[in-house]
Amino acid sequence: MQIDDALIAYLEDLSYLSLTDGEKLRLRGDLEKILTSMARLGAVPTDGVPERSHPFDHVNAFREDGAKASCDRQLILRNAPGGNSGNNGNSEFFVAPQTVDYDEGAEAGAGGGIGGPAEVGTEPPAPPEVE
């Protein structure tokens, strides 16, 4: 199977990864070999065979539905990158970069407040044609 740059870029977007040029080159060769080998499954007759996503038919062991204490919030937040200080000193929430603009001046006015997204995601490219 031929792996081109567009497909690698598409998979990077799907995976939230950015590969170096060297990694891309390696991955192209690896994926070609691996997917060519995997394509042999196409020869296995499976018409009418149900898909099995789990080893057994019995897939759920139920427990009683009741409220109970969960983990300690401060302990959990300590694992945020950099700990409490790295988490911008915040001991209540996980801190992430701002994703929406907030226009304070517009708050009092009509329709004020939250503006458009600060960053606009790119649409993933259309998947290549199936061979």
What sign does the CA torsion over 12, 14, 15, 18 have? positive
- Rounded CA Rg of the chain: 24
Residue 106 contacts another protein per CB under 8 A: no
Q: How far is the CB of 74 from another protein (least distance, A)?
A: 10
- Tell me what percent of the chain is helix, strand and coil, each rounded to the nearest 5: 35, 5, 55
Residue 98's DSSP bridge partners are: none
- Of the candidates 5, 21, 61, 105, which one interacts with another protein according to CB under 8 A? 61
Count, residues near another protein per rule CB under 8 A:
63
> Interface residues with another protein (CB under 8 A)?
7, 10-12, 14-19, 23, 26-27, 30-31, 33-35, 37-42, 44, 46, 49-56, 58-63, 71-72, 75-76, 78-82, 86, 94-99, 118-119, 121, 127-130
